[in-house]
């Protein structure tokens, strides 16, 4: 913020462009951003500040943001909850293979070898499928987590704007 020529500068709350605030603008006066048209109130405290004049749109955006956050949280909980389904399927295949090959104690013959190969192929497919499902879920969880973080960050930015505006 630099002073000079009867005007001080402060940044737009919305687009962060510098706005020249002439010295005759008193505390509480309204001034519009030349960049984005957002209306501000002049705050003359220990230093010049600009706060939002009309908090309505930010309140609405925050309400929408809270809805989005709730939806993302529910989706994330659901994605986390459905974890382990693929792994369970693989566990069943593995137990089946152990039972067939180990516990049944058949003599090694052509029939058993064929069966072991079949079980191995089925287990392999099950593993591939479980792995694919696992990766897809993990990716979904990563995306949801990032979207949630962004939404929460945006919400906290909007709450700060609202808090500063209502303090005037
Ligand atoms: Zn602006």
For every one of its 168 residues, what pLDDT tens digit does the chain have, with 9 covering 90 and above? 444 458 899 999 989 999 999 999 999 999 999 999 999 999 998 889 999 999 998 999 999 999 999 999 999 998 887 655 545 555 665 666 667 666 666 555 667 667 767 777 777 777 777 777 778 888 999 999 999 999 999 999 999 999 988 876
In angstroms, what is the span from residue 94 Cα to ligand 1's centroid?
62
In angstroms, what is the span from residue 100 Cα to ligand 1's centroid?
72
In angstroms, what is the span from residue 118 Cα to ligand 1's centroid?
67
In angstroms, what is the span from residue 19 Cα to ligand 1's centroid?
8
pTM listed for this prediction: 0.63
DSSP 85-136: HHHHHHHHHHHHHHIIIIIT-PPP-HHHHHHHHHHHHHHHHHHHHHHHHHHH
User: What pLDDT, on a 0 to 100 scale, did the predictor assign at position 160?
Assistant: 93
In angstroms, what is the span from residue 66 Cα to ligand 1's centroid?
24
In angstroms, what is the span from residue 35 Cα to ligand 1's centroid?
5
């Amino acid at each position: 913020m630099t002073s000079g020529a009867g005007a001080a500068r402060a940044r737009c709350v919305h687009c962060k462009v510098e706005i020249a605030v002439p010295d005759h603008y008193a505390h509480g006066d309204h001034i519009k951003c030349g960049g984005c048209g957002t209306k501000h109130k002049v705050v003359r405290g220990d230093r010049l500040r600009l706060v939002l004049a009309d908090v309505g749109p930010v309140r609405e955006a925050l309400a929408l943001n809270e809805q989005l956050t709730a939806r993302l949280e529910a989706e994330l909980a659901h994605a986390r909850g459905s974890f382990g389904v693929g792994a369970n399927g693989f566990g069943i295949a593995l137990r089946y293979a152990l039972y067939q090959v180990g516990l049944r104690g058949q003599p090694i013959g052509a029939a058993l070898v064929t069966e072991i190969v079949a079980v191995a192929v089925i287990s392999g497919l099950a593993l591939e499928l479980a792995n694919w499902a696992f990766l897809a879920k993990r990716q979904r969880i990563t995306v949801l987590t990032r979207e949630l973080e962004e939404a929460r960050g945006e919400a906290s930015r909007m709450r700060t704007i609202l808090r500063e505006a209502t303090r005037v």
